[in-house]
Structure 1
Amino acid sequence: MVALGGGHGLAASLGALRRMTDRLTAVVTVADDGGSSGRLRAELDVLPPGDLRMALAALCDESEWGLTWRDLLQHRFTSPGSLDQHAVGNLLIVALWEILDDPVQGLDWVGRLLGARGRVLPMASVPLAISARVRGSDRVVVGQSHVATCDEEIEEVVLDPADPPACPESVEAVRAADWVILGPGSWYTSVMPHVLVPELARALHETTARTCLTLNLSSEDGEARGLTPAGHLDALAKHDPELRVDVVLADPTVVDDVEDLEAAARRLGARLLMRQVRRGDGTPHHDPLRLAAAYQDVFDDFLGDVGTPAR
């Protein structure tokens, strides 16, 4: 299994997939320019470590050892000084990068410390910048943190550099996968960037793996403003017309027009699977056990309402 994304969305899919396999690789966006990650990126000219840290924490061993190191990784300082809101894990990851001079090896060492059930890799070998063009205007929003909070409809996003070097291990993982899981997550800043790295996109087009696209549980007030569930799929297809998907997974509570979403899924070559994957408390967060059960239906080709085989 290879899961692509970033932030809380990727952590949600990893929390489900880790219950099913330890042959799991997370491929993580590296465009974050805000908070602790943005400060370290600007000061030390490194990949932003925050989303990588969150993916590692999601894969930690659930022993006392793993959970203690996970909590340390996620711990943030509170102070009136320069350490305020820095995550310990971000500092640890960047320190290992400086010692080892190899981002992938550094992440592997943190994974060993956590007893991680899987591997975490960066999407690209260099830090990226995201820009978004606003619909119906010439205005361009620059920077991941600004795009994520944009309150206008987004027409298009681009990366800078436009043709960045993909992480070779990430490309290899996609090509060798049985399944690729894309989403959930912030659509333009966590999900979309993977199809904008040419070498990684090419691997997604050419891999023999099947692909599952997981939709979000809410339309964010920021970057996804104005996007219906079908609109999410059409936006992805617009940015990568060659992308083909096998299954689109959606929670029925967020789908107002099932036929519209089914049509958008068909345009990607996919079938739609509707499953309850939301937590029972009503918050827009995925329940890891429900999401794992839905993924199991995806992998078993049980895509009907009552487990009708797809083939």
Structure 2
Amino acid sequence: MQYRFTSTGAMHGHAVGNLLLAALWDKDSDPVQGLDRVASLLKVVGRVLPMAIEPLDIEGTFQSSVGRTIIRGQKEVAVAKGKLESLRLIPEDASSTPAGLAAIADADWITFGPGSWFSSVLPHFLIKQQIDAIIKSKAKKLVILNLDAAPSMRGDEFAGSSPAEHLSILQKFAPEFHCDIALADTSVSLDKGAMEEAVSDIGGELVVADIASGGSVHHDPEKLGPVISHIFSL
């Protein structure tokens, strides 16, 4: 599902999972039903729900050495260079799905990340109904920090910045949000003091574990899964 086509044609860069979803949504205009169909087809454990009822686009304003630039599009925002000044969804007044809000209200744990911080994590805090539901929820909150926030890693987003800066951006967009636990890879060990302070600022506790996949900017699912399971058992 995560495999991306590599070619010189129109399919280049597209994930198999996204194409399957697009086909089912073309057949059935209800995005929740389309996701449920995919889950049934693939025998997925759990349920995937969209953030909003309508299709969304994302737009960010970045400040860099060449000046201020407005960048639009999920992929483009995810790899944008420079300091993020503002981030918005289009349309800005999008409504959350009732099923998504119900899931937030019923959850024991709500996790954020891993994924593109700009285009996959922060957008959850940009829909008013959803952030209100998250803040009101009695569920415990877990933030999984990306590996490319670590100075030793080489990624597009956050390359050379610290995990503490990673969290400060989250706090900027959602000042009322508090987490219970922030999970980081052992690569933060050189800056652990600053990291603990940043996590404390959003009300949480820092947990450090070996969750990286061999020097890449990706998590190792076989390492990450057991760590999350242990956290959920606390």
Determine if contact 1:154/1:223 at 8 Å carries over to the other structure. Answer: no
Q: Distance in 1 between matches of 2:212 and 2:14?
A: 30
Aligned to 2:206: 272
Q: Distance in 2 between matches of 1:226 and 1:196?
A: 26
Local SS of the residue matching 2:49: strand
Query: 2:123 aligned with 1:193, yes or no?
Result: yes
Q: Distance in 2 between matches of 1:84 and 1:151?
A: 22
1:135 to 63, 70, 73: 63
Local SS of the residue matching 2:110: strand
**Partner amino acid for 1:171?**
L
Local SS of the residue matching 1:234: helix
Note closer, same or farther for the CA distance 1:282–1:207 as it changes in structure 2 (3 Å cut). same
1:170 to 89, 100, 107: 100
Backbone CA RMSD of aligned residues? 2.4
The Cα of 1:182 is off from its aligned counterpart by 0.4
Q: Which has the higher contact order (CA 8 A, sep 6+)?
A: 1
Determine if contact 2:148/2:156 at 8 Å carries over to the other structure. Answer: no
**Partner amino acid for 1:214?**
I
Cα deviation per residue 1:132-169 (whole Å; 9 max; x = unaligned)? 22237543222222222222122221212112111221
Q: Distance in 2 between matches of 1:287 and 1:223?
A: 19
Aligned to 1:110: 38
Query: 2:173 aligned with 1:242, yes or no?
Result: no
Determine if contact 2:135/2:176 at 8 Å carries over to the other structure. Answer: yes
Q: Distance in 2 between matches of 1:130 and 1:86?
A: 18
Q: How does 1:1-311 map to 2 (within 5 A)?
A: 54=2, 74=3, 76=5, 89-135=17-63, 137-219=67-149, 221-225=155-159, 227-279=161-213, 281-301=214-234
Bigger Cα displacement from structure 2, 164-173 vs 239-248: 164-173
The Cα of 1:284 is off from its aligned counterpart by 2.8
Identical columns (%): 37
Cα deviation per residue 1:61-120 (whole Å; 9 max; x = unaligned)? xxxxxxxxxxxxx5849686x566665544443332233331111111121111111111
| Number of positions where the alignment pairs a residue of Structure 1 with one of Structure 2 | 228
Return the TM-score normalized by structure 2.
Answer: 0.86
The Cα of 1:225 is off from its aligned counterpart by 4.2
Return the TM-score normalized by structure 1.
Answer: 0.66
Unaligned runs of 5+ in 1: 1-52, 55-73, 302-311
Bigger Cα displacement from structure 2, 184-193 vs 143-152: 143-152
**Partner amino acid for 2:60?**
A
Unaligned runs of 5+ in 2: none
Aligned to 1:63: none
**Partner amino acid for 1:124?**
A
